[in-house]
Structure 1
Amino acid sequence: MTAARLRPMLLPAATVLAGCAAAAVVLAADPTSDAGFPLPPCPIRWLTGLDCPGCGATRMFYSLLHGDLLSALHYNALAVAFIPFFLWTWGGWVVGRWRGRPVRTWENWRWSPLVWLVLIAAWSVIRNLPFPPFSSLYV
């Protein structure tokens, strides 16, 4: 491999290292209990008392790192559902950098932005409804 061929892969490698560092911080912090060091609270929840679409994502990530899918789904089911799409996008970006030309992913589909906007809006409303079974989604 030549240096010119490997140079485009430096940024993807840096994202892997950053992801590993983030995983180490989340594992050390243990956001599911008071045992670890505190992470900053969600500003939307702090200001409004409502769960934003991303609330619980750190606890979801922590649960996934421990292989606990059911807890991860409880903390943030939409974020769990988004993980394959994120990995697809990241993989397409890496392959595109390796090949030297962009790789099309789900983001290039015509209705993707609208579908995700509707899903995020619906998740925001559903997880804040104050009656069963939706009240169990509140974290």
Structure 2
Amino acid sequence: MTIDRPVPGASAMDAPGGVVGASPAAPGLTDRALALIGRVSSHPVAGPAVVVAGTTVACTAIWLGDPTTPGGHLPVCPTKSLFHVDCPGCGSLRMIYSLMHGDFGAAVRYNAVGVLAVVLLIWSFVAYCLRLWTGRRIKTWQHFRYSAVAVLVVVGVWFLIRNLPFAPFTGLRV
């Protein structure tokens, strides 16, 4: 029989599970799910296929739901419903619907920053696929030094100017 004795200078938090003498815990559901997501996202066929499938399902729901028709099945923006202001994402469903129907002007009218976001997402997806298929890292907008700050500034400014109560900014409301 062995007796586990604490190591001088070590605390119980240094031991696995926070208990001295405890064995490492088996991976939980979250750990297994994250490991599965990591394996799928790094697979050259399954990773892009999952993204394309998810995008197809979402776009099909938007196409069939027709957000340009009032009183449809798709939800109304909760920010607009509760606070009566246009959030930066307001009009995004209608913007995507208009893009799918080839009406670029209406898409920009519904959410101009959302159109820019779609372009950046497509660029990121193409770079992701090229990295998986060629093994080379492709530089995208996400790798630029101040891209996160720039995105936050653009979204914040879009939120502010979209809700200004005087012309020409009232035309940005949806």
The reply to whether TM is greater than 0.5 is yes
What residue is the counterpart of 2:31 in the other structure?
none
Please give the secondary structure, in 2, of the residue aligned with 1:8: coil
Q: Is 1:21 the equivalent of 2:20?
A: no
Find the aligned partners of 1:56 and 1:24 in 2 and give their Cα distance.
17
The one-letter amino acid paired with 2:69 is: S
Segments of structure 2 that go 5 or more residues without pairing to the other structure are 1-42
Which aligned runs of 4 or more in structure 1 are off by greater than 2 angstroms?
99-104
**TM-score of the aligned structures, taking structure 1 as reference length:** 0.88
* Seq. identity, %: 40
Instruction: Give 1 or 2 for the bigger CA radius of gyration.
Output: 2
Find the aligned partners of 2:105 and 2:141 in 1 and give their Cα distance.
26
What residue is the counterpart of 1:110 in the other structure?
145
More helix, by proportion: 1
Q: Post-superposition shift, 1:104?
A: 2.3
The one-letter amino acid paired with 2:51 is: T
Find the aligned partners of 1:100 and 1:82 in 2 and give their Cα distance.
26
Q: Post-superposition shift, 1:84?
A: 1.9
**TM-score of the aligned structures, taking structure 2 as reference length:** 0.71
CA RMSD of aligned residues (A): 1.7
What residue is the counterpart of 2:80 in the other structure?
45
What residue is the counterpart of 1:82 in the other structure?
117
What residue is the counterpart of 1:33 in the other structure?
69
Greater CA drift, 82-91 or 65-74: 82-91
Please give the secondary structure, in 1, of the residue aligned with 2:90: coil
